[in-house]
């Protein structure tokens, strides 16, 4: 199994829709997880951290399922500005972060 796997998409959704992305990881010892956002040809930026079962920040909810080794990101009431690539990021022990390939989201008016 690859270290971090994501559905590449693209997910094309209308404004106002709810969309969810999943990410699976291989290292069962990982304790913390992150979602980064990357706009086209820009740098990644931290969106959310997930240290326990989940985290919520406004329209964004991240959930962790340790037994199945996946994390999810839910975006409610999608905005045009949410269009980006969402990167699932997992540290592997003491090594720095391993990035997934990302899931591309396009929110359409």
Partner 1 sequence: EPEVTQTPSHQVTQMGQEVILRCVPISNHLYFYWYRQILGQKVEFLVSFYNNEISEKSEIFDDQFSVERPDGSNFTLKIRSTKLEDSAMYFCASSLAGGNTGELFFGEGSRLTVL
* Per-position x/- string for 45-64, each x denoting binding to partner 1 as judged by CB under 8 A, each - no binding: xx--x---------------
63, 60, 80: which is closest to 72 by C-alpha?
63
98 lies in the binding site for partner 1 (CB under 8 A): yes
* Bridge partners, 50 (sequence order): 33
**Phi-psi category of residue 44: left, alpha or beta, with phi > 0 → left and psi -120 to 50 → alpha:** beta
For the chain, the residue count is: 109
5 lies in the binding site for partner 1 (CB under 8 A): no
Binding piece for partner 1, criterion CB under 8 A, among 14-22, 61-69, 74-82, 86-94:
86-94
Residues that bind partner 1 (CB under 8 A): 32, 34, 38, 41-46, 49, 87, 89, 91, 93-102
């Amino acid at each position: 199994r690859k270290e971090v796997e994501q559905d590449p998409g693209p997910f094309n959704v209308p404004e106002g829709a709810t969309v969810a992305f999943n990410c699976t990881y291989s290292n069962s010892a990982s304790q913390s997880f992150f979602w980064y956002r990357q706009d086209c040809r820009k740098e990644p930026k931290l969106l959310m951290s997930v240290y326990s079962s989940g985290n919520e920040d406004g329209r964004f909810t991240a959930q962790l399922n340790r037994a199945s080794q996946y994390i999810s990101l839910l975006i409610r009431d999608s905005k045009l500005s949410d269009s980006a690539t969402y990167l699932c990021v997992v540290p592997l022990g003491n090594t720095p972060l391993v990035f997934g390939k990302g899931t591309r989201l396009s929110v359409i008016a």
